[in-house]
């Protein structure tokens, strides 16, 4: 029997395998997201070179990846339980590369649409998360997912900056070719750097369980958050159907110089966002900060609608826009985690992620449609209206519980002893909820981390001996 203090110390840090898994999987995820978003700040500027191009079809080309991604990401994850994580990730990355090459060789806007749809069909996001779960101990699962999430945010920022630069050097076709090369690079990382898991099993905290869809979709608090991420990404995609054109045609900023605006905008927006994240969590003001950020994002869209097209006006508005956007992007997954039952987090996050990708699809289509019939002002007005609807729904949501998901390996127990174990776990200081699936050997907990007595909790862990 080891000393509990020693055990807590050992479990507080990642193992070398977990570090390797976290960095390599985060790199694959980031590389893939980089490829998807590098065209966002430039595509609408040069889409007219494709035969048959209209604003609606330009928006569809930007957003279509979201539809195929939303439809296929959960099936990919389910298939990976049967056929293995790496084989499904390989298939997804090859499909993604094929879509990129098809778009690179496009002559018509319809070719680009098909290529982008294929890119989205390489829907490996859920499989990457499942592999991350396979390669991490239960007590480090949240840290692993958070590390991957941060990499996605950095990838988006880098894509917005490098897109205009790459476009000047290699053009739109070249950006798609670079995207295909990045997919092959991700494949090399997968087989050279990513560890092989000892076993691949279903993880309730990271994977969607179709049998729970009905229950999770009946939760109106989680539905508010699903609607929120859909609107957030709809607004992002719709705004960038028109914003690059406004930046070039009204502010007079050449497309090659657009990165000079995006770079300081992202640096300032992150600096502004961080204090509010800290306030939301440490001061327990998450709902207030969350609702406030939606209101600020709506103000940014209304400012684009009413304001002029000067460079300073657009730059300052984008600082406000991305400060609120980044804050909401960081807050929403945390809220889903806090509001979902302990053993349904994976299903809740799966439906949330599908909603996010559907938002990108609807944003592209509706943004293109609005621009075709009402110009940039029509896009901004549509986005403002959607955000005001979301603001109303968010204002009426419940205050979140300030708890985190915590997994404890307890070993398989007899069904007759489940209630006894649940009672013992919730009696530990800081444990608010416990759910046990006796055949899985894992206790799914909701805990108040600042108050959690880890030494007492680890008495129930099979890692104790």
Digit-coded pLDDT (tens) for 403-459: 988 888 888 888 888 999 999 999 999 999 999 987 888 899 999 988 899 889 988
Confidence of residue 195 (pLDDT cuts 50, 70, 90): very high
pLDDT of residue 463: 62
pLDDT of residue 415: 87
| pLDDT over 90 percentage in the chain | 78
What is the mean pLDDT of the segment spanning 202-213?
90
What is the mean pLDDT of the segment spanning 32-46?
93
Asked if residue 427 lies in contact with residue 456, where contact means CB atoms within 8 angstroms, the answer is no
Q: Which of 183-192, 292-301, 308-317 has the lowest mean pLDDT?
A: 308-317
pLDDT of residue 12: 55
CATH number of 208-402: 1.20.1250.20
pLDDT of residue 395: 96
Is pLDDT above 70 for 227? yes
Is pLDDT above 90 for 73? yes
pLDDT of residue 141: 83
Asked if residue 204 lies in contact with residue 344, where contact means CB atoms within 8 angstroms, the answer is yes
Q: Tell me the C-alpha distance between 54 and 394, whole Å.
A: 35
User: Which architecture does CATH list for 16-203?
Assistant: Up-down Bundle (1.20)
Digit-coded pLDDT (tens) for 308-350: 778 999 999 999 999 999 999 999 999 999 999 888 999 999 9
CATH class, 404-464 region:
alpha beta
Asked if residue 30 lies in contact with residue 154, where contact means CB atoms within 8 angstroms, the answer is yes
pLDDT of residue 462: 82
Q: Which of 36-50, 103-117, 131-145, 370-384 has the lowest mean pLDDT?
A: 131-145
What is the mean pLDDT of the segment spanning 49-63?
97
Is pLDDT above 60 for 465? no
Query: Start-end ranges of CATH 1.20.1250.20 in the chain?
Result: 16-203, 208-402
Is pLDDT above 60 for 10? no
**Mean pLDDT of all residues in the chain?**
92
On whether the pTM is more than 0.75, the answer is: yes
What is the mean pLDDT of the segment spanning 19-23?
93
| pLDDT over 70 percentage in the chain | 97
409 sits in which H/E element: strand 404-409
| Closest CA relative to residue 446, chosen from 341, 353, 325 | 341
| Closest CA relative to residue 49, chosen from 108, 112, 102 | 108
Digit-coded pLDDT (tens) for 233-252: 999 999 999 999 999 999 99
Is pLDDT above 50 for 2? no
Digit-coded pLDDT (tens) for 92-136: 999 999 999 999 999 999 999 999 999 999 999 999 999 999 998
Q: Tell me the C-alpha distance between 107 and 262, whole Å.
A: 29
**Structure-model confidence comparison of residues 354 and 415, the more confident one:** 354
Asked if residue 14 lies in contact with residue 143, where contact means CB atoms within 8 angstroms, the answer is yes
Q: Tell me the C-alpha distance between 245 and 212, whole Å.
A: 44
Q: What is the DSSP letter of 445?
A: E
Is pLDDT above 70 for 265? yes
Asked if residue 18 lies in contact with residue 140, where contact means CB atoms within 8 angstroms, the answer is yes
Length of the chain: 465
pLDDT of residue 5: 47
Query: What are 108's strand-pairing partners?
Result: 51
Q: Tell me the C-alpha distance between 1 and 335, whole Å.
A: 38
């Amino acid at each position: 029997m080891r000393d509990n203090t020693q055990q807590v110390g050992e479990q507080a840090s990642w193992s070398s395998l977990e570090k390797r898994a976290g960095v390599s999987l985060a790199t694959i995820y980031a590389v893939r997201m980089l490829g998807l978003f590098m065209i966002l700040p430039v595509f609408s500027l040069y889409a007219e070179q494709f035969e048959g191009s209209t604003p609606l079809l330009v928006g569809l080309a930007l957003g279509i990846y979201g539809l195929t991604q939303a439809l296929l990401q959960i099936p990919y994850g389910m298939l990976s339980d049967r056929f293995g994580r790496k084989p499904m990730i390989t298939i997804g990355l090859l499909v993604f590369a094929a879509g990129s090459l098809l778009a690179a060789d496009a002559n018509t806007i319809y070719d680009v649409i098909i290529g982008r749809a294929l890119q989205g069909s390489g829907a490996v996001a859920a499989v990457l998360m499942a592999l991350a779960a396979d390669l991490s101990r239960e007590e480090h699962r949240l840290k692993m997912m958070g590390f991957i999430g941060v990499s996605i945010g950095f990838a988006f920022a880098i894509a917005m900056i490098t897109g205009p630069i790459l476009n000047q050097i290699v053009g739109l076709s070249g950006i798609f070719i670079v995207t295909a090369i990045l997919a092959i690079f991700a494949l090399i990382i997968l087989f050279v750097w990513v560890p092989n898991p000892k076993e691949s099993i279903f993880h309730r905290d990271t994977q969607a369980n179709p049998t729970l869809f009905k229950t999770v979709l009946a939760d109106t608090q989680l539905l508010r958050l699903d609607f929120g991420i859909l609107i957030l990404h709809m607004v992002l995609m719709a705004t960038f159907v028109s914003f690059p054109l406004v930046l070039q045609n009204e502010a007079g900023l050449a497309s090659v110089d657009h990165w000079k605006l995006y770079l300081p905008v992202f640096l300032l927006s992150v600096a502004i966002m961080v204090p509010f994240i800290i306030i939301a969590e440490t001061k327990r003001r998450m709902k207030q900060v969350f609702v406030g950020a939606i209101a600020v994002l709506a103000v940014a869209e209304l400012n684009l609608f009413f304001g002029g097209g000067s460079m300073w006006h657009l730059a300052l508005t984008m600082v406000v826009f991305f400060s609120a956007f980044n804050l909401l992007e960081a807050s929403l997954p945390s809220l889903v985690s806090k509001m979902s039952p302990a053993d349904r987090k994976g299903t809740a996050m799966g439906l949330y992620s599908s909603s996010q990708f559907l938002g990108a699809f609807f944003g592209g289509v509706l943004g293109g449609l609005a621009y075709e019939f009402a110009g940039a002002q029509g896009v901004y007005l549509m986005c403002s209206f959607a955000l005001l609807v979301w603001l109303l729904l968010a204002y009426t949501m419940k205050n979140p519980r300030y708890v985190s998901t915590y997994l404890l390996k307890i070993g398989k127990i007899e069904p007759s002893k489940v209630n006894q174990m649940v009672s013992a776990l919730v009696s530990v200081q800081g444990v608010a909820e416990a759910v046990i699936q006796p055949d899985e050997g894992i206790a799914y907990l909701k805990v108040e981390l600042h108050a959690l007595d880890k030494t007492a909790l680890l008495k129930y862990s099979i890692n104790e001996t």
